Amino acid sequence: MAAIGIMSAMHEELSAVLAQMADGQRVTVAGRDFWVGDWQGHPVVAVLSRIGKVAAATTASILLDRFQVGSVVFTGVAGGLAPDVRVGDVVVARGFVQHDMDASPLCPRYEVPFYGRACFDADPSLSDQLAQASAQVLAAAPLHLGQETMDQFKLLTPCVHQGLLVSGDRFVSTSAESRLLSQAFPLAMAVEMEGAAVAQVCWDYKAAFAAVRTVSDRADDAAHTDFQRFVSGVASRYSLAILTRWLKDLPTGVPGIT
């Protein structure tokens, strides 16, 4: 049976995943450590995605080509764009667009040349499974985050959203740029730096893809504040709990594909 590829954007997330994997064997390809093992009865290959579209696309290609995974799930953080997407919320992607793709006048802005499309969809079934797992995890709060962390990030009633993620090779950290993105993509929930690239690679390999992102900031002038603390104190715990919940409910022998 094809394994599930798990791409984590952050070291803290990957470490938490590896702590749960039985008999993880390290295989190094292109300077990346891929961990092949078993998690709750499911064959998985876990890896750090690296940051940015090219690095993440390379990692995804190796997962699909060398390790022959049948599906890929990405976990990480994102900057909230839609007004109701707050720090501490979870966004499960429905589709992905590269916000910095512009090959005009060869084709319309944002369209990826040779694909005839700007948007690459997430696998609907995988996406729904992850949204359900996320809702269950958030409903069972507090994930032992500690009162200080809850207060600092005002994590009162976190919500799960499903919708469009936009990706580009830029950490968006000004309100002006965030406004421009929201104007260009009125349906965008959040911005990050890898999802659309991995979605394009999964499209090429006809593999199911989904992504879960915890909102670490509002992609505005305050976006850099306490980013690292949020990643280690909140996002990595959310990711682990969501993936654990999802895999628990996933029948063995079904790698999450529609």
Residue 111 touches ligand ADE, criterion: CB under 6 A:
no
Nearer to ligand ADE, 52 or 128 (CB): 52
Q: Please list the active-site residues.
A: 13, 217
C-beta of 171 vs 203, nearer to ligand ADE? 171
Cβ distance to ligand ADE smaller for residue 60 or 77: 77
Residue among 44 and 77 whose Cβ is closer to ligand ADE: 77
The piece of 82-90, 142-150, 167-175, 240-248 that touches ligand ADE (CB under 6 A) is 167-175
Under the criterion CB under 6 A, does residue 231 sit at the interface with ligand ADE? no
Binders of ligand ADE among residues 37 to 96 (CB under 6 A) are 77-79
Concatenated DSSP letters of the chain: -PPEEEEESSHHHHHHHHHH-EEEEEEEETTEEEEEEEETTEEEEEEE--SSHHHHHHHHHHHHHTS--SEEEEEEEEEE-STT--TT-EEEEEEEEETT---TTTS-TTPBTTTTBSEEEPPHHHHHHHHHHHHHHHHT---S--HHHHHHTT-SS--EEEEEEEE-SS----HHHHHHHHHH-TTEEEEESSHHHHHHHHHHHT-EEEEEEEEEE-SSTTTTTTHHHHIIIIIHHHHHHHHHHHHHHSPTT--S--
* Binds ligand ADE (CB under 6 A): choice among 64, 92, 172, 250: 172
191 near ligand ADE, rule: CB under 6 A: yes
In the complex, the residues that contact ligand ADE under the rule CB under 6 A are 77-79, 171-173, 191-193, 216-217, 219, 223
